[in-house]
C-alpha cells in the first residue's frame, strides 16, 4: 500500500494510533489509557507505515506457522 491509501484506511489509522500510544506509554511511564487519550486521531505517516508493516508481518507469520489454515477457505457460520 502506498501512503495515500494508508491515510484513507480506517484500519491502519486505528492500528497506527494504538501502536503510537503503546510507544508513548512505554517511553513516558504512563498507562496505555492515558497515552491513548493524548495521541491525536490522525497519526503521522510513520505510524501508518509501521501499522502496515506489523499487519503484513503478522499475517505472513501466521501463514508460515499454519499453512493449512491459510489455504483453507472459510465455510459456514463462525458461531
Range of the domain at 31: 3-55
Answer whether residue 34 is part of any domain.
Answer: yes
Whether residue 52 contacts residue 12, with contact meaning beta carbons closer than 8 Å, is answered with yes
The answer to whether residue 41 is domain-embedded is yes
Domain membership of residue 67 (yes or no) is: no
| In-domain check, residue 75 | no
Inter-CA distances, 78 with 11, 53, 66, 71, Å:
22, 28, 19, 17
Q: Place 74 in a pLDDT band, splitting at 50, 70 and 90.
A: low
Whether 21 is covered by a domain: the verdict is yes
Q: Please write the tens of the pLDDT for every residue from 2-58.
A: 899 999 999 999 999 999 999 999 999 999 999 999 999 999 999 999 999 999 999
Q: Is residue 60, in this structure, part of any structural domain at all? A: no
> Which pTM value belongs to this model?
0.77
Give the number of domains in the chain: 1
Is residue 71 one of the residues assigned to a domain? no
Q: Please, which pLDDT band fits residue 78 given cuts at 50, 70 and 90?
A: very low
Residue 35 domain flag: yes
Residue 79 confidence class, pLDDT cut points 50, 70, 90: very low
What is the distance between the alpha carbons of residues 74 and 41, in angstroms, rounded to a whole number?
34
Amino acid at each position: 500500500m502506498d501512503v495515500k491509501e494508508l491515510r484513507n484506511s480506517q484500519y491502519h489509522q486505528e492500528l497506527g494510533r494504538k501502536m503510537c500510544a503503546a510507544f508513548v506509554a512505554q517511553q513516558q511511564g504512563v498507562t496505555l489509557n492515558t497515552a491513548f487519550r493524548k495521541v491525536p486521531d490522525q497519526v503521522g505517516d510513520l505510524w501508518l507505515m509501521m501499522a502496515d508493516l506489523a499487519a503484513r508481518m503478522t499475517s505472513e507469520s501466521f501463514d508460515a506457522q499454519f499453512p493449512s489454515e491459510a489455504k483453507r477457505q472459510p465455510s459456514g457460520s463462525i458461531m
